[in-house]
Amino acid sequence: MPAIVSVAEAIPEHVLRQDQVMDFARDLFSESFKDIERLLKAFRNGQIEKRHFAKGLEWFKTDKSFEERNNAYIDQAIDLGTKAIKCCLENDIFLSKNLPCKEIDAIFTISSSGIATPSIEARIMNRLPFSEHTKRIPIWGLGCAGGASGLSRAYEYCLAFPEAKVLVLSIELCSLTFQRNDRSKSNLIGTSLFADGAACALITGDDVKRDFQKLSSIPRILGTQSTTMRNSLEVMGWEVKNEGLYVVFSKDIPSIIESWLKPNVTEFLRGKGKKMEEINHFVAHPGGKKVIDAYQKALKFDPSMTRISLDVLKEFGNMSSATILYVLKRFMEIGRLGDTGLAAALGPGFSSELLLLEWE
């Protein structure tokens, strides 16, 4: 089965503490909500301590056109994506030697927070020495589920081409979509939660001679499952308007997870001959503190199973599709031979992506 060999992060330079963003939101939203102090509790209850952004706080205090935001997205995505790839292929934690870009057969680029044609990986290929024959598979619109979905699609590619070395590059600059004139509760909650970040994972097929692998045990992917709930388009996503992308974020997400996720996971594990009790590592996308709590309730997991996801949320916030790769990196650093992992992420559609992992 294809294996995940290396994962690396690229973190934007601007760091904002949650109190700073809360003060910004108070100034912006106080005229729109009489109960602003009650609503601002979301900033504290979410347990996020800091986040990283592509731009400093001053940038968000003035109106920006869709063009300005998207141009900033392209510039920052190229820089962060280039950094993430280099860190993934030149990684002292996971690799015993550097892997040349020219040996990469395909790049899956995952993003939902900006638009670029040519896509971001094409622009990065003008900076890094990839082969001109490297296959490009940009995937847009999967939101928070995108990182897990990218891993699944890379897994399928490596099943078809077992000699392949594939990158999953996730870049999300959620802050650049911020609409300062959108005084909806969805935007207020989004302001308390979303952040920027990029990450890159290296997946290899069975026939690859992994003489560059440093860890004694790495996760291989045993199988995946994609599920889309019917008639749930309004749960999360973007509403596209003249000014840009407006966040859609239903307050019912935690309750939907509680009722829908367990049957989905149970069906997936049963099909792979596994039980919930056999899962050692829950590699969960931390959509928010309420989402993590809903995972625990739905799957009857001990809070220790979601500790790493919560730690990533506290340190980085919700970076949409990239976040699960940050979580995966931390599990790869502690995983041992024979461990079993379940990776899970939820996104627009409303959809889920599940992967079953086993450390070999």
224 and 186 part of one domain: no
Which residue, 350, 210, 358, 225, is CA-closest to 280?
358
In a domain, 211, yes or no: no
Structural domains in the chain (count) = 2
Q: Give the pLDDT band (50/70/90) at residue 250.
A: confident
300 to each of 34, 188, 288, 312, 352, how far by Cα in Å? Answer: 38, 30, 18, 21, 18
In the predicted structure, residue 123 carries a pLDDT above the cut 90: yes
Which CATH number belongs to the domain containing residue 10 in this structure?
3.40.47.10
Q: Measure the CA–CA gap between 131 and 145, rounded to whole angstroms.
A: 29
In a domain, 213, yes or no: no
Q: Measure the CA–CA gap between 166 and 237, rounded to whole angstroms.
A: 28
21 and 163 part of one domain: yes
156 and 235 part of one domain: no
In a domain, 257, yes or no: yes
In a domain, 247, yes or no: yes
In the predicted structure, residue 31 carries a pLDDT above the cut 80: no
Q: What is the model's pLDDT at position 22? A: 87
Which of 147, 170, 204 represents a domain boundary (last residue)? Answer: 204
Q: Give the pLDDT band (50/70/90) at residue 32.
A: confident
237 and 179 part of one domain: no
Which of 176, 204, 232 represents a domain boundary (last residue)? Answer: 204
176 and 302 part of one domain: no
110 and 81 part of one domain: yes
In a domain, 351, yes or no: yes
Range in 62-66, 71-75, 209-213 with the lowest mean pLDDT:
62-66
Q: Give the pLDDT band (50/70/90) at residue 311.
A: very high
Range in 148-152, 247-251, 277-281 with the lowest mean pLDDT:
247-251
**Distant-in-sequence, close-in-space partners of 76: CB < 8 Å, separation ≥ 6:** 12, 54, 173, 176, 196
Q: Is 144 a catalytic residue?
A: yes
181 and 102 part of one domain: yes
Structure tokens at 48: 């996020």
Q: How does the average pLDDT of the chain come out, rounded?
A: 92
From 144, 158, 174, 200, the catalytic residue:
144
Average pLDDT over residues 308-322: 95
Contact between 136 and 130 (Cβ < 8 Å) = no
In the predicted structure, residue 15 carries a pLDDT above the cut 90: yes
The parent domain of residue 341 ranges over 219-359
In a domain, 214, yes or no: no
Which of 151, 172, 204 represents a domain boundary (last residue)? Answer: 204
Q: Give the pLDDT band (50/70/90) at residue 35.
A: confident
312 and 260 part of one domain: yes
Average pLDDT over residues 49-75: 93
237 backbone φψ class: left, alpha, beta (φ>0; ψ -120 to 50): left
